[in-house]
Structure formats: structure tokens, C-alpha cells
């Protein structure tokens, strides 16, 4: 029997079988006892048997099927959907709809399982990264303090130098912990933005000035390109400063010596698009999708000498998304990297 047989069809087959069977019995009895058969009575009885069997079987089957389907819908956690479907569909359509709903449910569940596995892996990686990043400054600070404790403590220059080294490691520890706290605040939506109108050109020049020393060390040129002398945006100035600081410092740190960082401000209808481009070694495509993850660092061997934790871009993304704006990255090996993000225009 077809797997799509509906209760009506099953009831029809059954009642036909019952009708044929009772006809055979009726005719055999009439033949054995030599009874006279009136064709009209016979046909009428046959019809009544067929019809009542049909109705009875159909009723029982539908009750049975519905009760099973109800359990299926309860199992897949959609009892209300069952009521809707039952109202809208005949019993035969209902079976097909149930098949579709269960298949849909199975696909969703598989997707959820894959997501959970990914998150589990991400969580394990995250715990490993936190421990690793915290361990290094703790061990360093501990090493300097132990050396001091083992020494005669008679050379003030030596004592000061070791205390300063221990202190800088403790400062690094503090930076990592406060960055992590900040990310977790953003992720749980506990950050309130203080939006105001400010001039982005002025802010970019201020951040350029701040990173002048770092740029000079690498002989990097910082250039701003804007059609207007003032560009007013509506955003949280402290947070956007953080964004610019990280993107500009990254372009210097991970750019090349004697390189150039260009910042372009493009006027979109209701937003400005800000592009920060360097002509450094670039990032290979396999790293790009994970670049904004916490602790993710693209080229660990090259970055080892650069003092970064890989938390900066995660904070940047959280800040831009809290402003309901977007950030993207594109990069080509040996050509350079461009980060672009939007900001809301200030319209008085
Ligand atoms: N302009 C760039 N060119 C090449 N690689 C980059 C660039 N910007 C970021 N990266 C890569 O992305 C990684 C993550 O950057 P992110 O700013 O999150 O961390 P960081 O600079 O290493 O540390 P932090 O910003 O926390 O001090 C970097 O380690 C680097 O590998
Ligand atoms: Mg950074």
C-alpha cells in the first residue's frame, strides 16, 4: 500500500473488502439453505454494510491518526501548529503537511546541533586563549619578583628596573581583563552609548597625533582624505575614538615599514563611510572570516614580536554594531588591508 494512503482511502478499501466478504457469506448461506434472494434487498443491504463500515472505519482511523500526529507535534514542540494545521487541512493533506513539518524540524535541529558544536569548540578555544594570555604576564611578573626576592636588594637601580618590568606585566594583565570585561558588557547589551554630534575630521587628526611616535618609528605616513573640512557625525565620541585608535594603530603595527595609511571619508545619503587602508603585507583570505573574534590573530609568528592580544577588533566590531552600523574588512596579500565602517550623519 502506498505510504501516502489517507484514512479515507484506507476506510474505502476496508469497507469494500468487508462488503465483498459479507456478499460471499450471504450468497453461500442463500445457496446452502436454498433461500430466495431479492436483488433490490440484497443491493440495499450491501450498500448499508459498505457505507456504515466506511464511516466507522474512517472515523476510527482519523481519530487514531490525529492522536498520533498530535503526539508528533507535541514531541517537536509545536502543539499550537497542530491545531492550525488540523483546521486548515483535510486528513490526507495533513499527513503530507506533517511530513513536511517534521522534515523542517529535523533540518532546524541539525542546524542547532551544528551551531552548538561550533560554540562548544569556540568556548574551549576561548578558555584556552584566556588562560594562555593571562599566564604569560603573570609568569613574567612572578619571575621578576622572585629574582628580586632572591637578590641582596642592595642595588636601587636593579630593584627599580625589575619592579618596573613586573609592573608593566601587571598593567598588561589589567588591560586584558578590562578589555574582556568590556566585550562581555557589549555582548550582554549592558553598554549605554552617549551619542552626540562631533567633527570626525578633528577626531581623526587627534588620533593621528596620538600615534605620531609609533608611525615615525615605522616611518609610516598617515593621510586623511575628505572633501569637507568638517564632517559631523552623531555617535559616542569616546567609543569612536577607541575604534579609530585600534584601526589606525593596527595599520601601523601590521603595515609595512615606510608604508602609508590612507583614511577616506565618503559621503553616503544618511551615513558616512570611513575607510582605513594600509599598503602592508595584508591578511590571507582564510583568516578574514574570524578576524573579529576575541583573541584571533592572523599571523601568529609575525605578530609574536608585536604586543597585541587580539581583542582590539572584537571591541571595534561591538562598538560599531552597538551604533547599529556595519564594519567590513577586505585584504589582499602583499597589497594591503582596508577596514571600512559606517557612522550616522549628524543632521541638525
Ligand atoms: N591592518 C592590518 N594588516 C594586517 N593584519 C592586521 C591588520 N589589522 C589587524 N590585523 C590582524 O588582526 C589581528 C587582530 O587585530 P586586533 O586589533 O584585534 O588585535 P591586536 O592588534 O593584535 O591586539 P590589541 O588590539 O588587542 O592590542 C592582529 O593580530 C593582526 O594579525
Ligand atoms: Mg589592535
46 touches 23 (CB < 8 A): yes
Whole-angstrom distance, CA of residue 79 vs CA of residue 75: 9
User: ∠ CA(131), CA(135), CA(137), 5° rounding?
Assistant: 135
Q: Which of 312, 319, 311 is nearest to 295 (CA)?
A: 311
- In this structure, the answer to whether residues 144 and 202 fall within a common structural domain is no
Percent of the chain with pLDDT over 70: 92
User: In the prediction, which pLDDT does 63 show?
Assistant: 85
225 touches 265 (CB < 8 A): yes
Q: Do the domain assignments include residue 103? A: no
Whole-structure pTM value? 0.74
Residue whose CB lies within 8 A of the most ligand 1 atoms, among 250, 284, 286, for a mutation test: 250
User: In the prediction, which pLDDT does 96 show?
Assistant: 77
The total of other beta-carbon atoms located within 10 Å of residue 281's CB is 20
- In this structure, the answer to whether residues 247 and 315 fall within a common structural domain is yes
Q: Is there an atom of ligand 1 within 6 Å of 310 CB? A: yes
- In this structure, the answer to whether residues 212 and 158 fall within a common structural domain is no
Among the ranges given (29-43, 212-226, 266-280), the one the predictor scored with the smallest mean pLDDT: 29-43
248 touches 261 (CB < 8 A): yes
Q: Do the domain assignments include residue 104? A: no
Q: Do the domain assignments include residue 112? A: no
Domain total in the chain: 3
- In this structure, the answer to whether residues 168 and 204 fall within a common structural domain is no
- In this structure, the answer to whether residues 164 and 199 fall within a common structural domain is no
Write down the mean pLDDT value for the chain.
Answer: 90
Q: Whose CA is nearest to atom 25 of ligand 1?
A: 312
Radius of gyration over every alpha carbon of the chain, rounded to an integer in angstroms: 37
For 220-274, the pLDDT digits (tens) are 999 999 999 999 999 999 999 999 999 999 999 999 999 999 999 999 989 999 9
For 290-332, the pLDDT digits (tens) are 999 999 988 766 555 567 889 999 999 999 999 999 999 999 9
State which of 88, 106, 129 marks the end of a domain: 88
- In this structure, the answer to whether residues 36 and 136 fall within a common structural domain is no
Residue whose CB lies within 8 A of the most ligand 1 atoms, among 174, 176, 312, 327, for a mutation test: 312
Q: Do the domain assignments include residue 101? A: no
Q: In angstroms, what is the span from residue 67 Cα to ligand 1's centroid?
A: 59
Domain that holds residue 125: 118-187
Ligand nearest to the CA of 295: 1
- In this structure, the answer to whether residues 211 and 181 fall within a common structural domain is no
231 touches 199 (CB < 8 A): yes
CATH number of the domain to which 318 belongs:
3.30.565.10
Q: Whose CA is nearest to atom 31 of ligand 1?
A: 298
Q: Is there an atom of ligand 1 within 6 Å of 246 CB? A: yes
CA atoms within 13 A on the CB side of 88: 11
Amino acid at each position: 500500500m502506498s505510504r501516502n494512503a489517507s484514512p479515507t482511502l484506507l476506510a474505502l478499501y476496508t469497507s469494500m473488502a468487508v462488503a465483498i466478504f459479507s456478499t460471499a457469506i450471504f450468497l453461500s448461506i442463500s445457496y446452502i439453505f436454498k433461500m430466495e434472494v431479492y436483488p433490490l434487498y440484497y443491493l440495499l443491504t450491501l450498500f448499508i454494510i459498505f457505507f456504515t463500515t466506511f464511516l466507522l472505519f474512517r472515523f476510527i482511523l482519523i481519530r487514531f491518526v490525529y492522536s498520533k500526529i498530535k503526539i508528533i507535534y507535541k514531541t517537536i514542540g509545536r502543539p499550537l501548529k497542530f491545531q492550525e494545521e488540523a483546521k486548515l487541512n483535510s486528513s490526507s493533506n495533513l499527513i503530507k503537511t506533517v511530513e513536511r513539518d517534521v522534515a523542517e524540524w529535523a533540518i532546524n535541529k541539525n542546524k542547532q546541533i551544528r551551531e552548538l558544536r561550533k560554540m562548544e569548540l569556540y568556548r574551549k578555544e576561548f578558555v584556552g586563549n584566556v588562560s594562555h594570555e593571562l599566564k604569560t604576564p603573570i609568569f613574567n611578573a612572578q619571575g621578576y619578583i622572585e629574582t628580586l626576592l632572591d637578590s641582596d636588594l642592595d642595588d636601587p637601580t636593579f630593584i627599580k628596573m625589575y619592579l618596573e618590568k613586573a609592573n608593566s606585566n601587571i598593567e598588561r594583565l589589567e588591560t586584558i581583563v578590562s578589555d574582556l570585561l568590556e566585550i562581555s558588557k557589549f555582548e550582554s547589551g549592558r553598554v549605554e552609548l552617549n551619542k552626540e554630534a562631533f567633527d570626525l575630521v578633528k577626531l581623526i587628526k587627534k588620533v593621528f597625533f596620538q600615534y605620531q611616535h609609533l608611525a615615525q618609528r615605522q616611518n609610516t605616513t598617515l593621510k586623511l582624505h575628505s572633501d569637507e573640512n568638517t564632517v559631523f557625525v552623531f555617535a559616542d565620541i569616546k567609543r569612536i575614538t577607541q575604534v579609530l585608535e585600534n584601526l589606525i594603530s593596527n595599520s601601523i603595527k601590521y603595515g609595512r615599514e615606510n608604508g602609508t595609511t590612507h583614511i577616506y571619508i565618503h559621503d553616503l545619503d544618511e551615513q558616512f563611510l570611513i575607510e582605513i587602508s594600509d599598503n602592508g603585507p595584508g591578511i590571507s583570505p582564510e583568516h578574514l572570516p574570524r578576524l573579529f573574534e576575541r583573541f584571533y590573530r592572523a599571523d601568529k609568528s609575525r605578530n609574536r614580536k608585536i604586543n597585541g592580544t587580539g581583542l582590539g577588533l572584537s571591541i571595534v566590531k561591538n562598538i560599531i554594531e552597538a551604533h547599529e552600523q556595519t564594519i567590513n574588512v577586505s585584504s589582499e596579500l602583499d597589497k594591503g588591508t582596508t577596514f571600512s565602517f559606517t557612522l550616522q550623519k549628524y543632521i541638525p
